[in-house]
Amino acid sequence: MNVKRIASLIFAIAIVVCGCMLTPPEGLSREALIVLSLFGFVICTWIGEVCPKFVSTLIAMVLLYFLGVADSINEVWQAFISSVFFFLLAAFALATVVKKSTIPLRLMGLFIRVCQDRSSLIVLAIMLSSAIVSAFMSDLAACALAVSIVLPVIRGAKMPERFVRCLMIAIPIASLTGGFSTPIGSPSNITIMSLLGNFAMSVSFVQWAVVGVPLACMVLAVSWVVLVFVYRPEKLDQSCVEDINGRFDNLGHLSAYDVKAIVVLVVMMVAWVSSTWTPPLDSTLVAVCGLCIMFLPGVELLSWSDFNEGVPWDMVLMLNGLMAMAVFLNTTEALDWVVGSVMSDATSWSPLAFLYIVSVVICVLRSCVPSGPPVVVMLAPGLIALSYTIGLNPFCVVLAISIWTQITFLVPSIDALYLITYSTGCYTTTQLWKAGIPLTVFFLAALPPITYVMVNTFIPL
């Protein structure tokens, strides 16, 4: 019997009971209090690993009706199905195609051949590969893909301990960093994009990337410098280098599958970029059209079994469940009350001070919550609305939310992406902190003003 799971479930139920029985504070309706308690129920069950994440999210959705927040169960289901659902299916299909091809392996092999025995440059090469791949597929999938390629190599070649530790910490950091560079790089970004419609606001692929990519490059470069300085990876001997190169030598020429995958990826990228000037080509439409093309005769990049295995249905259901809860957090004005209570004096702050506070709050929350989307759903609507009030370009807040729900350097034991490398036993939490704490402090200080300047330069109101 797992005491932690049972205790977490009891505590989660107690939160809901309190939400139903307590008198709401001033300015908060009974329905809003219940929605907040259900959100607390979801987060508590996630942290306690009571059940699969999508199950607790679906339970909360059903309770929205039974506890009187929704007038009908159909209202809940309508909130559940949105453009996010179809965009996620297409994004994971694209990730499956990339994973089936030799593109990531060739990219990594190219970088490593250039680096040879210089371990610090090999770390940089693998970080670049992971970040580039993560910009166009789920950060979790990109991290898993990088580890699946690298781990057999480093274990087979018996590489030095400090080098392996540095590399295993660098891969999740790079994957998370690449994830905020484009609007399709992570579930958090997809969630943010879907919420922007509530404010009659839209951000094109190019607008996001023109700011997100330079910021990601800066984060990647600084992270690499700190990781190499802190962990001091040993220089590789010649036998290790030869073993690594040998694993990439038999790739041969691009296969027909690789060529078709590259063509589809490039066409989708061009369409996403064109959506900046062609409004009918919104991100979801491009993604769905690309998904359909992947199955067509003559293309056949995917079969149904490939697609079914490549889509993490638990994550898809979880994110759509969160989106449904976001609808009710918004309609009951629960988020307005939360943001107003926490940031009651925000209207007197300068825009840059507000951006600093937002970054710190999200950074702290993200260190306690296993994934980014719940933080996005809980805070994004209220913070975006507040940014208009204080005269801050709302895309500054959007990027701050994206960055700090992505990058986290402190708690590998609860983050699914870090767990991929943390579970290998190559490093401990304390070892991560040696680089993670200075990186967190530096980026909290440096990113808000840089984001503020770049957004107002490239995406003015």
With cut-offs at 50, 70 and 90, classify the pLDDT of residue 285: confident
Same domain, 125 and 105: yes
Q: Classify residue 253: in a domain, yes or no.
A: yes
pLDDT of 1 > 60? The answer is: no
Name the residue type at position 44.
C
Nearest to 290 by CA among 316, 309, 271: 271
Q: Classify residue 196: in a domain, yes or no.
A: yes
Q: How far apart are CA 241 and CA 157, in angstroms?
A: 9
Give CA 153 to chain center in angstroms.
27
Which residue, of 75, 107, 134, is where some domain finishes?
75
Residue range(s) defining the domain that contains residue 97? 84-310
On whether the CB atoms of residues 451 and 180 are closer than 8 A, the answer is no
Q: Considering its fold, how many domains does the chain have in total? A: 2
Q: How far apart are CA 212 and CA 197, in angstroms?
A: 20
Q: Classify residue 45: in a domain, yes or no.
A: yes
- Average pLDDT in the 229-247 region? 75
Tokens of 70: 């929704």
Same domain, 65 and 100: no
Q: Classify residue 243: in a domain, yes or no.
A: yes
Q: Classify residue 105: in a domain, yes or no.
A: yes
Same domain, 52 and 147: no
Residue length, the chain? 461
Tokens of 381: 């609507």
Same domain, 39 and 64: yes
Same domain, 97 and 51: no
Q: Mean pLDDT for the chain?
A: 80
pLDDT at site 195 = 73
Return the DSSP state at 23: P
Same domain, 102 and 207: yes
Return the axis-axis angle of helices 372-390 and 313-331, rounded to nearest 10°: 30
Same domain, 110 and 24: no
Q: Which residue has the higher pLDDT, 115 or 130?
A: 130
Q: Classify residue 346: in a domain, yes or no.
A: no
Same domain, 232 and 196: yes
- Average pLDDT in the 232-256 region? 73
pLDDT at site 446 = 94
What lies within 8 Å, CB to CB, of 217 at 6+ separation is: none
pLDDT of 387 > 80? The answer is: yes
pLDDT of 182 > 80? The answer is: yes
DSSP string of 252-292?
Answer: -SPPHHHHHHHHHHHHHHHHHHHTTT-TTS-HHHHHHHHHH
Same domain, 88 and 230: yes
Tokens of 60: 């909360």
Q: How far apart are CA 455 and CA 170, in angstroms?
A: 28
pLDDT of 168 > 80? The answer is: yes
Q: Classify residue 174: in a domain, yes or no.
A: yes
Which residue, of 310, 344, 377, is where some domain finishes?
310
Say how many C-beta atoms besides its own lie within 10 A of residue 235's C-beta. 11
Which backbone phi and psi does 371 adopt, to 5 degrees?
Answer: -150, 165
Q: Which residue has the higher pLDDT, 262 or 334?
A: 262
What lies within 8 Å, CB to CB, of 277 at 6+ separation is: none
Which residue, of 310, 327, 361, is where some domain finishes?
310
pLDDT at site 10 = 87
Same domain, 173 and 280: yes
Q: Classify residue 353: in a domain, yes or no.
A: no
pLDDT of 335 > 90? The answer is: no
What lies within 8 Å, CB to CB, of 150 at 6+ separation is: 108, 126, 167, 171
- Average pLDDT in the 249-264 region? 81
Same domain, 103 and 238: yes
pLDDT of 247 > 70? The answer is: no
Same domain, 158 and 32: no
With cut-offs at 50, 70 and 90, classify the pLDDT of residue 139: confident
- Average pLDDT in the 28-36 region? 84
